[in-house]
Amino acid sequence: MGLFDFLSNEGEKKPVEPAAKPAAGGTDFFGNAAQPEAAAGESYTVVSGDSLSKIAKNHYGDAAKWHQIYDANKNIIGSNPDHIEVGQVLTLPKI
């Protein structure tokens, strides 16, 4: 049997099935945690003098909700939630 013999086999024609869609909540191409679109919320660009608690106070009315902002942006902020940089674009999740 040759390499291209399978192409001429008339009896085994099957329709091509569409590729399965990835499950929600997995990872993106780069291995970062993927966020469902509905929970993504809006974006916020960090300005001078900002902290996660100040952003939470202004956006949610409660500075103690800074944890939700940090959890949604760990891949951008890194391991230290006190170290955010001017110009970073953070996702403010819907709570």
User: What's the pLDDT at 37?
Assistant: 47
pTM score over 0.75: no
50-57 long-range contacts, CB within 8 A, separation 24+: 50/84, 50/86, 51/82, 51/84, 52/81, 52/84, 55/90, 55/92
Taking every pair of Cα atoms in the chain, the longest distance, rounded to a whole number of angstroms, is 72
Closest among 52, 41, 95, 56 to 77, alpha carbons compared: 52
**DSSP secondary structure code for residue 81 in this structure:** T
Q: Where are the domains of the chain?
A: 41-95
What does the pLDDT look like over 48-88, one tens digit per residue? 999 999 999 999 999 999 999 999 999 999 999 999 999 99
Answer yes or no: is pLDDT of 92 > 90.
yes
| 90 bridge partner residues | 44
Is 3.10.350.10 the CATH classification of the domain at 41-95?
yes
User: What's the pLDDT at 95?
Assistant: 83
Q: Which residue has the higher pLDDT, 87 or 12?
A: 87
Q: What percent of the chain has pLDDT over 90?
A: 56
